[in-house]
A = this chain, B = another copy of it.
C-alpha cells in the first residue's frame, strides 16, 4: 500500500493532513485503497498534535523509505523546497506541490527530472487554489489549439479592488482593512505589485502553450496606482477594474504574456468575479471560451487540489502523467510593448483618436495603441495620470 509524506506543517501541509483524514472514505472509494499519511517533515516539535507520532525532522527517513510513494511539498519558496523536491524525485517518489514560486521558476527542470526518474510532478494547487484548472487545461482541452488564457488569479488584489469599487474607498484605506482581516500580508508587495499573479500566469501559460516563460521576463503592473477616479471612470464605461494575468497567441503566432489591471466589460464572465474569488478564462479554437471559478486560496481549498494530485499519483503509480513543456524560444515570443490595446487614460489633453468618457473630465479611451507608443507620448511630455488597458 502506497504511503504519503508531507513536507512542512504550515497552512497547506496541515490542510492536506486534515483533508486526508476527513475524506478518507471518499478517497478510498476512488483509489480502492486507503491513502495513508506516514510522515510529516517538521523543523520543530508540535507537542500534543494528533500527528506527532508521524513527525520527523530528518528528510532522509522519508527519502529512504520505499513505502513512501508520494511526497507533498508544503515548505514554500525556492530554497529547501527545491532541494527536497529534487531529492524526492531522484529517489523515485512522485511530488505534488502548491508552491507557485517553485513551479514558475523551476518547473521545467523539475518536470525533466521527474521524467528521468519515471515520476510525476503535479501542481494543480499552485494556481487558483482548489479550482480545477491545470488538469482540465492539460487533459480535457487537449483537442484544442489554445488562443488565450486570462485570469483573476490573486484573491487579495481582487478583494481590494472589489472593496474600492463597492465602497468608494482608496487603495490605501482598503489595504489597511485587508491587512487587519488577514487577507493581505504585512508586506503586501507580492500580491499588490502583481508578482503572485505573474508566477501563476507563467504556469498557466506553460501548460496552455507548452512554452515556459520566466517571471522576470514578463511585464508586470500591479494595482497600487489604481485611483478612485479610475474606478469612477470604469463605472462610467459600464466596466470594472480587475487585475488580470493574460497569455495570448498573437496573429503572427507569437506568445505574449503580461500582468496589468484592466477595465473589464459587463458581458465578460470575469466581470462578476468578486472578493477573494478567482477565475480563469481559456479560449480554445474548438471549445470557444470556458471559465473555471472558485476560491483561489485558503487552507482546505488548496489542500483539496493537492489531495486530488496525490490521488492521481496513487492511481497512476506506474503510468506517468505526461506534462511537458520547453523553454520559450525568443523568436516565438512577442514583446508586450508592441501589443495594441485600447487604453483608458486620464490626461490633460486628448490626443489622436481618443474618445471622452461621459461625465469624467480628463478621462478618455484611446484607439488601439501599443504600450510603447503610449509610453513615447508620456516621455514626450504628455501628462498622464492613469493608463489602464481595456479587456476587449
Contact = CB atoms under 8 A, between A and B. Distances in A.
Interface stretch (A26-34, A73-81, A108-116): A26-34
Could you tell me the dominant secondary structure of chain A's interface residues? mixed
A121 to B, nearest CB: 17
A294 B300 CA distance: 26
B269 A130 contact: no
Contacts of A284: 130, 304
A289 to B, nearest CB: 6
A318 B320 CA distance: 12
A200 to B, nearest CB: 17
A25 to B, nearest CB: 8
Interface in A1-51: 19-20, 22-23, 26-27, 29-30, 32
Contacts of A294: 287-291
How many copies of this chain? Answer: 2
A285 to B, nearest CB: 7
Interface string A280-311: 00001111111111110010110111111011
A140 interface: yes
A373 interface: no
Contacts of A29: 210, 324
A238 B310 CA distance: 42
A236 B318 CA distance: 58
Contact of A135 (B130, B135, B145, B318): B135
Nearest to A138: B30
Q: Top 6 A-B pairs ranked by shortest CB distance?
A: A143-B307, A132-B140, A290-B294, A130-B287, A132-B136, A286-B304
Interface of A: 19-20, 22-23, 26-27, 29-30, 32, 124, 130-132, 135-136, 139-145, 210, 269, 271-272, 284-295, 298, 300-301, 303-308, 310-312, 315-316, 318-319, 322, 324
Given A130-B290, A290-B292, A292-B293, 19 more contacts: A26-B142, A26-B144, A29-B210, A30-B322, A132-B139, A132-B141, A135-B135, A135-B139, A139-B308, A139-B312, A141-B308, A143-B305, A286-B307, A287-B295, A287-B305, A288-B298, A289-B294, A292-B292, A316-B319
